[in-house]
């Protein structure tokens, strides 16, 4: 049996939840471990054949920890089967939900020379009740501008779980 590692960079937990779903599919075939990006070390990475990294967007950016991690482990990552996905709410829009038209995937590709074998983008969620006042106002304003949901009493989940299932099933057949 091969080993796979799923690494998440998540602020509010939704990317972690997506990673847990991927884990539930991949672990049917492979020994799989889920870990926060802040807890991965070179020695751990060496044990795995497939490495999947998921990261969310906040104010237009993936966290710097993603780029630091990739730079630090690029050689090792290049010796494995790898996948990267971004989680953001722009991806709720049909014309921004694939790797060729999502601005954050394009930004990712121009910010690093690392090229994972598989790349994808998934829509995240908005949970107004979780946000600090400034963030809540900013997100409300962005949602109003982009014709998104502005009801602050609700959780707005845009995630297409079947897309994540397909991504996982593609990976499951690759090692
Ligand atoms: C303060 C804040 C800023 C955000 N900025 C963006 C953004 O610039 N573009 C975008 O598409 N989504 C943005 N989002 C939406 C997040 O990407 C989305 O909520 C995602 O599900 C968060 O994943 P996480 O829970 O793993 O951190 C933002 C969310 C928050 C709370």
Long-range contacts of 136-145 (CB under 8 A, 24+ apart): 138/59
Quick check: CB of 89 below 6 Å from ligand 1? yes
CATH number, domain containing residue 74:
3.40.50.360
pLDDT attached to residue 44: 85
Same domain, 56 and 142: no
Q: How far apart are CA 78 and CA 65, in angstroms?
A: 18
Quick check: CB of 125 below 6 Å from ligand 1? yes
pLDDT tens profile 127-153: 999 999 999 999 999 999 999 999 999
Quick check: CB of 82 below 6 Å from ligand 1? no
pLDDT attached to residue 148: 95
Q: How far apart are CA 110 and CA 58, in angstroms?
A: 18
Quick check: CB of 55 below 6 Å from ligand 1? no
Dist. CA 43 → ligand 1 center (Å):
31
**Domain range holding 95?**
3-124+159-172
User: What is the sign, positive or negative, of the torsion defined by CA atoms of 166, 84, 11, 137?
Assistant: negative
- Lowest pLDDT segment from 7-11, 27-31, 121-125, 154-158: 27-31
pLDDT attached to residue 41: 80
Q: How far apart are CA 140 and CA 118, in angstroms?
A: 33
Same domain, 79 and 138: no
pLDDT attached to residue 24: 98
| Per-residue pLDDT band at 175 (split at 50, 70, 90) | low
Same domain, 45 and 115: yes
Distant-in-sequence, close-in-space partners of 160: CB < 8 Å, separation ≥ 6: 97, 122, 123
pLDDT attached to residue 65: 96
* CB atoms near residue 42 (< 10 Å): 10
Same domain, 51 and 117: yes
To test the pocket of ligand 1, the residue of 88, 125, 145 to mutate (highest count of ligand atoms within 8 Å of its CB) is: 88
Same domain, 61 and 73: yes
Which among 1, 5, 87, 92 is positioned nearest to 45, based on CA atoms?
A: 5
Q: Does 95 score more than 70 pLDDT?
A: yes
Q: Does 155 score more than 90 pLDDT?
A: yes
Quick check: CB of 124 below 6 Å from ligand 1? yes
Q: Which contiguous run of DSSP H or E holds residue 4?
A: strand 3-9
């Amino acid at each position: 049996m091969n080993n796979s590692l799923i690494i998440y960079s998540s602020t509010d937990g939704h990317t972690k939840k997506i990673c847990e779903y991927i884990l539930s599919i991949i672990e049917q075939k492979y020994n799989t471990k889920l870990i926060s990006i802040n807890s991965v070390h070179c020695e751990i990475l060496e044990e795995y054949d497939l490495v999947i990294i998921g990261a969310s967007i906040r104010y237009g950016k993936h966290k710097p920890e993603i780029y630091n991690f990739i730079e630090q482990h690029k050689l090792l990552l290049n010796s494995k089967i790898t996948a990267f996905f971004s989680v953001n709410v722009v991806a709720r829009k049909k014309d921004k939900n694939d790797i060729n038209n999502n601005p954050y995937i394009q930004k990712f590709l121009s910010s690093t020379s690392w090229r994972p074998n598989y790349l994808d983008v998934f829509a995240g969620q908005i949970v107004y009740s979780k946000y600090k006042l400034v963030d809540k106002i900013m997100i409300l304003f962005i949602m109003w501008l982009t014709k998104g949901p502005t009801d602050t009493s609700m959780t707005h989940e845009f995630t297409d779980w079947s897309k994540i299932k397909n991504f996982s099933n593609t990976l499951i057949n690759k090692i």
